[in-house]
Structure 1
Amino acid sequence: MNNSGRPPPAVFHTPGFAHYSLAWSPFHSSRIALASSANFGLVGNGRLHLVSVVPGPGGAPTINLDKYFESQDGLYDVAWSEVHENQVLTASGDGSIRLWDIMLNDLAIGVWKEHAREVFSVDWSNIQKDTFVSSSWDGSVKLWKADLPRSVTTIQAHHSCVYQALFSPHQPDLIATCSTDGTLKIFDLRVPTYVAGPNANNFTNPLSAAVLTVPASGTEVLTLDWNKYRPFTFATGSVDRMLKVWDCRMIKMGETGQVGGLCEATLPGHEYAVRKVQWSPHRADFVSSASYDMTCRVWSTVPNGAQPQLLYIHDAHTEFVVGCAWSLFEDGVLASCAWDGKLNVLRV
C-alpha cells in the first residue's frame, strides 16, 4: 500500500451541508448526485447536489456544481433512475421519498410517504428497471413503481432500523437488507408465502419471512453490497469496525428457516464503524469502504483462501466518511463524501 505519487483528488465543497450519500449516473460518465443535510442530518433541511467531474487546467479533474434542490428535511440517500437519465431519487428524514427531474426547477415530480420513520436507503433495480426499493428506521422495506402512487409490496424485514436494502444485480426478485439486529437477510419475492389472500393486502399483512438470515455481526450492520460478478457473495460493514466478505451459498437450516453463510474474509483495519461498502463494477475482487475513522479504503479480496490486502487509504477528509462509490464507466476512479461537506474524486 503506497499513497505517494498519486495525483491529489478533485474536491467539491458544500459549506453548511454534510454529505450522507453519493451516486454516479448510469447514463453519464461524469455526473454525480449528492444527498446532503444541514447540521449533520440531526435537524434542519437537506439538499440534493448535482455535480459534474470535468477536465481542468493541465488535464487534472475539477468538479462543477450543475444544480441543487432544497428539501425541508435532511437527505440520507440517493439513487439514479435506471430508465430516465435526468431523474434521481432521494431518501428523507421525514419518512418521504422524492423523485427529481434535474432538467426542471424547484419541486419534486414525485413524492411517496408511507414509512413511519426516516428513510435511510433507496435503490433502483438495474434489471427490473421500473422498480425501486426503500428501507427505513421503522423496520420495513417497500417496493415501488415510479408511476404508482403507493408501494406495491411491504416487507417487514427486521424488528429494528433497516440501514440498507439492495436489489440483487443478478436476479430481479432478490433483495438483501442489513439492520441494527446484526443480521444480513435475503428476501425472495417469488416465494409463495408472499402471495396475499383475497381479503389481505401488503399494508395489513406485510411480508416478513427471509429465505436466508446471516448473523453477520454482534453489533449493528450499517452497510452491505452484492458482488457484481459472484452471485450470493456479499460485503458487510458494521459497528465493530469490521469489513467482512460472505459466501451465502454455504447455508444450513435453523429453527426459523435457512441461516448461516460462510465468512470467507475478515478485513480489519478501520478504527471506527464501517459506514459504507461497495464492490467495484469493474473487478470482482476490489471493494471500497468508508468509515467514521475519516478514511476511505480499497481492498483486494481474492477468494479461495488468499489473504485479503489493503491496497489504498484515502485520508483527506476531516470528518466522518459516510459514502463511497466507484465510477461505473472508468476503472479505478472512486468518489468519497463526508460530514466535512466535501466530495472527493480520486484515482486509485
Structure 2
Amino acid sequence: MMMMKVFRSPARHGYAVEVSPFIPNRVACAASQYYGLAGCGALLVLDETESGVSLVRSWEWSDGLFDVAWSETNEHVLVAGGGDGSLQLWDIANHSAPLRVAKEHTQEVYAVDWSQTRGENLIVSGSWDHTAKVWDSALSHSLTTLRGHEGVIYSTIWSPHIPGCFASASGDGTLRVWDLKAAACRLAIPAHNAEILSCDWCKYDQNVVATGSVDCSVCVWDLRNVRQPVNQLRGHTYAIRRVKFSPFSKTVLASCSYDFTVRFWDYSRNQPLLDTVEHHSEFVCGLDFNLHVPNQVVDCSWDETVKIYTPACLSAGTHSTAP
C-alpha cells in the first residue's frame, strides 16, 4: 500500500510544485482561484511532518500563479510566475509582500526556473508572449530576451550540466535549446505535431531531454541526433502537463496529465511504463521529485490537493541507484 500525505487548499487549484533544494521536507506550490481562468493566485509553502503536511506560509497574489522555483542559493527565497505577466520574488521571512516584482512580459508567465550550475545565479521565464527572458537573481531587470518561438512558451528549464543553457517547450510544437552567451537558439527540434506543455533535462546526461505534449505522448530526445526520439512513451489519454526526470535513476521519469493520472516510466525498457497512479479527481498539473528523499514524489492538482508519496514501482529498490 502506497503511503501518502495530503494537503488540502480549498478554492486553490494547484499548477506547480517544487521541493526545496535545501530543506528535505519543504515544498512550494503555485495555485490559482477558479482554475486559473479568473481570480487571484496563492503561493503556498508546505512542510511534510510525521502526521501529515502543514502550511508554513501562504501569500495571495492579484492574478493566477502558474509556476514556482526555489532559489538555488538562498533557502528562504522563491520566484513565481503570474497571469499578469509578472515574476515575483518571495522571502519566507517576509510575511506581507514580495521582495520584488518584475513585469516585462506582456502576457502570462507560465514558466520560471532557477539555474542549477555553479558559477551563475540566474532565473529564466517563459511567457505566452512567445518570449523567454533571463534575469539576475534579484529580478532587478531582465538581462536578455530570447525570441524564436512562434507560439506560447509553456516551459523553460535550465540545463543542470551546461552553464548558460536552457531548453524551452512551446505551443508551436518545437523544443528549443538556447545559448545565453550567444543569446541565440542553438537547436530547434520539431518534437511533436501538437503543443508541447513541458520539458525537462536528464540529471545524468547533458544530451537527454524529455518533452510532454497535448498529443498524449512523452518523447525522450538525444540532442546529438534529433531526427527521431530515443523513445516515445504512450499511455496517457489526455494532454501531458509536466514531465520530470528522477534525480536518482538515469532512465526513470514521471509525467502528469489532464487524464488525472501520474505515470512513471523507464525509457530504457521495452515496456517502459512502470506504474500509473490515479489518486486525483481533476487535472494533475504540478509534479516534482524530492532531491533528498529517494523516490519521493510531490504532485498537485486542480482538485485542490497537494500529495506527497513514494510510488511502489520506485520504492521496490530496482530504480533506487544512480548510475
TM-score range, shorter chain: over 0.9
CA contact (8 A) 1:11 1:343 kept: yes
Aligned to 2:190: 215
- In structure 2, give the amino acid aligned to 1:120: Y
CA contact (8 A) 1:249 1:261 kept: no
- Cα distance, 1:146–1:292 mapped onto 2, change above 3 Å: same
How many Å apart are 1:262 and its aligned residue? 3.5
CA contact (8 A) 2:89 2:139 kept: no
Aligned to 1:26: 21
Scaled by the length of structure 1, the TM-score of the pair is 0.87
Question: What is the aligned length?
Answer: 310
- Cα distance, 1:20–1:148 mapped onto 2, change above 3 Å: closer
How many Å apart are 1:148 and its aligned residue? 5.3
Counterpart Cα distance in 2 of 1:147 and 1:64: 29
Q: Find the residue that maps to 1:39 and give its secondary structure.
A: helix
Give me the CA root mean square deviation. Answer: 1.1
Aligned residue runs from structure 1 range 242-321, under 5 A: 242-250=217-225, 260-302=226-268, 306-321=269-284
- In structure 2, give the amino acid aligned to 1:53: E
In the alignment, structure 1 residue 40 sits paired with structure 2 residue 39: no
- In structure 1, give the amino acid aligned to 2:294: D
Aligned to 2:206: 231
How many Å apart are 1:308 and its aligned residue? 4.2
In the alignment, structure 1 residue 6 sits paired with structure 2 residue 7: no
Aligned to 1:109: 99
Counterpart Cα distance in 1 of 2:7 and 2:53: 6
Q: Find the residue that maps to 2:228 and give its secondary structure.
A: strand
Counterpart Cα distance in 2 of 1:148 and 1:286: 34
Aligned to 2:78: 88
Counterpart Cα distance in 2 of 1:40 and 1:238: 20
Aligned to 1:204: none
Q: Aligned residues: percent identity?
A: 38
Which of 308, 316, 335 is 2:298 aligned to?
335
CA contact (8 A) 1:248 1:262 kept: no
How many Å apart are 1:129 and its aligned residue? 4.3
Counterpart Cα distance in 1 of 2:251 and 2:32: 33
Query: Where does the alignment leave 5 or more consecutive residues of structure 2 unmatched?
Result: 312-323
Q: Find the residue that maps to 2:229 and give its secondary structure.
A: strand
Aligned residue runs from structure 1 range 106-145, under 5 A: 106-127=96-117, 128-145=119-136
Which of 141, 161, 164 is 2:152 aligned to?
161
Aligned to 1:198: none
- Structure 1 segments, 4+ long, off by >4 Å, are none
Q: Find the residue that maps to 2:281 and give its secondary structure.
A: coil
CA contact (8 A) 1:82 1:129 kept: no
Scaled by the length of structure 2, the TM-score of the pair is 0.94
- Residues 17-40 of structure 1: per-residue CA shift (max 9 Å, x gap): 100000000000000000000000
CA contact (8 A) 1:265 1:308 kept: no
CA contact (8 A) 1:247 1:261 kept: no
- In structure 2, give the amino acid aligned to 1:240: D
- In structure 2, give the amino acid aligned to 1:157: G
Q: Find the residue that maps to 1:249 and give its secondary structure.
A: coil
Counterpart Cα distance in 1 of 2:40 and 2:205: 39
How many Å apart are 1:244 and its aligned residue? 1.1
Return the index of the structure with the highest Cα Rg.
1
CA contact (8 A) 1:160 1:180 kept: yes
